[in-house]
Amino acid sequence: MAIRTKIAAAMAVLLIVAVAVIGFVTVRVVSDKLTGQVDEQLRKATNEDNLSMWMNTVDVLGGADGAGGPEGPRLVSQYALLLFDSDGQVVAEQQAGTADDPDPLPDISSAPQTGLYFNVASTDGTMTYRVYAQSFAQRATGDIYTFVVATPLTEVQASISTLTRTVLITGVAVAIIGILAAWIITRRGLRVVDHMVADAETVATGHLGHRITVADPRTEMGRLSLALNRMVSRLTDAITQRDRQHERLRQFVADAGHELRTPLTAIGGYVQLYQNGAAAQGEKLDRAMDRIGSENARLAKLVDDLMVLSRLDEEVGGDRELVELAQLAQDAVDDAEVADPTHPVGLLAAEPVTVVANEGQLRQVLVNLLTNARVHTPAGTAIDVSVKAEDGWAVMRVADHGPGIPAEHRQKVFDRFYRADPSRSRATGGSGLGLSIVSSIVAAHGGLIRLDSAEGEGTAIEVRLPVARLE
């Protein structure tokens, strides 16, 4: 069963029950009110003056001339009157109604209990009377009589019957209108749900760029649509990130295989050359062994770089300790000048700057940045290294004055195995992993990295790490 049908059915049941209860209470209250008015009239009609006036017309009490007993003339009024003696026998009676069409007497054969209101049928069963009885002492003789006053409930019952029919008809009409209104309101209110279902099915078919139609954000459906859109956006981002990671993994495996195959092919070629006897003893063999050693070292370096990236991807950052960056930069600068005297390296570090980091990894950051600057600039190009504290960050900057990086390559230099000049990098032994390792180490330490480069002016790479808070 659809939710709109359930809601409409529930509202219909509640409405019918409410109308029935209201109708029942209304009829009951009006009935009690009308009956109470009749009871008040009966009580007033049974006062001593009215009893005496009527009893004076009855022979058994010595009434006025022209009055009769049970067989004599009867007065006609809105009340039926009965008089019982102390033995419970009827000694006088008077019918209600008009002279031309008197009503039948109430069916009371013995004196009833006095002071109580009750209903009783007529002698022929065609109507119902409301009855009240009161005791009366005849002043002359002291005899006790029971005086019964009854009035037909025909008008009261007719009013109650009319009211009941009116309540029933009105209740049915209200229930029908209410059910129709509930159905229309529910259908209109849930129309947004139909739209959301259609939008969700569209997203489920693979259209991840589609979004749920946003309803009024002040309503529950509006908040639900916003929440669903946020969920879809996050799922889309997660799927996009997963696809991107899969693509990067595929590219990484392809590039790693290519990079590993190159030195292995060279080593295999020299081994085959030796096995075929083409490399005789002497200078040619020595050169072959040198090349094998060189390619083996390149292969080992590549494997080491891949292991570093693997550990960083697994968020294995190593032990952290307090590291003084100015001293670390000084050591890296000294090593760089020894490794390549053709590139002068200058250091600007006015004061000590301390961070919490893995010293070995930060040392590798500086080594990779300096190596990258030396490899990609001509001999004699100066390299500047600076360390400073700025707004809660430790800032390390390595800048060269070389040819710079073309604009189309600047966004990719931190990608794995990426080379702006593949042939040159391979000739110098580079694998395209240096800056990627730098980026991964900085990210693992909660830092930031930025590249500034202009063709013909040089390249600067800035690393920012949180300064250690010493207390």
Overall fold of domain 318-466:
Heat Shock Protein 90 (3.30.565)
Long-range contacts at 448-453 (CB < 8 A, ≥ 24 apart):
448/393, 449/414, 451/405, 451/410, 451/413, 451/414, 453/404, 453/405, 453/410
- Could you read off the pLDDT of 395-416 as tens digits, one per residue? 999 999 888 888 887 777 877 6
Q: Where are the domains of the chain?
A: 26-160, 211-316, 318-466
Is a pLDDT exceeding 70 seen at residue 309? no
Phi, psi angles (nearest 5°) of residue 205: -80, -5
Residue 59's pLDDT is: 43
Q: What is the mean pLDDT of residues 68-87?
A: 67
Residue 162's pLDDT is: 92
400 within 8 A of 459, measured Cβ to Cβ: yes
Is a pLDDT exceeding 50 seen at residue 119? yes
Overall fold of domain 26-160:
Beta-Lactamase (3.30.450)
- Mean pLDDT score across all residues of the chain: 79
Q: How many helices (H) and strands (E) does the chain have?
A: 10, 12
| Least trusted range by pLDDT, from 42-51, 69-78, 343-352 | 69-78
Q: What is the mean pLDDT of residues 23-36?
A: 91
Domain 211-316: give its CATH code. Answer: 1.10.287.130
Is a pLDDT exceeding 90 seen at residue 471? no
Is a pLDDT exceeding 90 seen at residue 387? yes
Residue 280's pLDDT is: 56
| Least trusted range by pLDDT, from 8-12, 243-247, 292-296 | 292-296
Residue 65's pLDDT is: 35
Residue 132's pLDDT is: 92
- Could you read off the pLDDT of 186-229 as tens digits, one per residue? 777 777 777 777 777 887 777 777 777 776 777 777 777 788 87
Could you give the 3-state DSSP secondary structure of residue 426?
helix
E-strand ranges in 249-392 read 321-324, 345-349, 354-357, 383-390
465 within 8 A of 328, measured Cβ to Cβ: no
Q: Name the amino acid, one letter, at 50.
A: N
Q: What is the pTM of this model?
A: 0.45
Residue 298, CA distances (Å) to 240, 272, 361 in order: 35, 20, 20
Split at pLDDT 50, 70, 90, the class of 275 is low
Alpha-carbon distance of 84 to 140, in angstroms, equals 17
Alpha-carbon distance of 231 to 212, in angstroms, equals 10
Q: Which residues contact 455 (CB under 8 A, 6 or more apart)?
A: 403, 404, 405, 406, 407
Q: Which residue has the higher pLDDT, 186 or 457?
A: 457
Q: What is the mean pLDDT of residues 368-395?
A: 90
Is a pLDDT exceeding 70 seen at residue 22? yes
- Bridge-based pairing of strands 345-349 and 383-390 is parallel
